[in-house]
């Protein structure tokens, strides 16, 4: 039996959209690392955003490499690291 993927509670901070240069398949959507469709902290094309921007769709790509729990934990870790980068950047400004 396959494990269910726990929903990711996105805070809509926009930090993942400010670092899409880190994702090979999204580099074409960015200028200076920030997604061209980010407005404030919101996605202007949310309903038609790329699959690489959709947590559940990305899990489908990696489900043979990670359990649902491992993938969720990695997502939370990545999100927290991006928020920490933002905090440090603001602290140094």
At 67-92, the pLDDT tens digits run 999 999 999 999 999 999 999 999 98
Angstrom distance (rounded) from CA 40 to CA 69: 31
If one counts every other C-beta atom within 10 angstroms of the C-beta of residue 49, the result is 16
Residue 5 domain-assigned (yes or no): no
The structure tokens listed for 71 are 């993938």
Residue 66 domain-assigned (yes or no): yes
pTM listed for this prediction? 0.86
Residue 72 domain-assigned (yes or no): yes
Q: Where are the beta strands (DSSP E) in 21-84?
A: 30-31, 34-35, 38-39, 42-43
Residue 8 domain-assigned (yes or no): no
Residue 37 domain-assigned (yes or no): yes
pLDDT band at 60 (very low <50, low <70, confident <90, very high): very high
pLDDT band at 1 (very low <50, low <70, confident <90, very high): very low
């Amino acid at each position: 039996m396959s494990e269910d993927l726990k929903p990711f509670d996105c805070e809509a901070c926009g930090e993942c959209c400010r670092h899409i240069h880190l994702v090979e398949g999204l580099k074409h959507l960015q200028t200076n690392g920030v997604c061209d469709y980010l407005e404030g902290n919101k996605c202007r094309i949310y309903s038609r955003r790329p699959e690489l921007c959709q947590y559940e769709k990305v899990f489908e790509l990696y489900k043979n490499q990670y359990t649902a729990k491992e993938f969720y934990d990695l997502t939370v870790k990545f999100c927290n690291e991006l928020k920490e980068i933002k905090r440090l950047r603001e602290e140094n400004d």
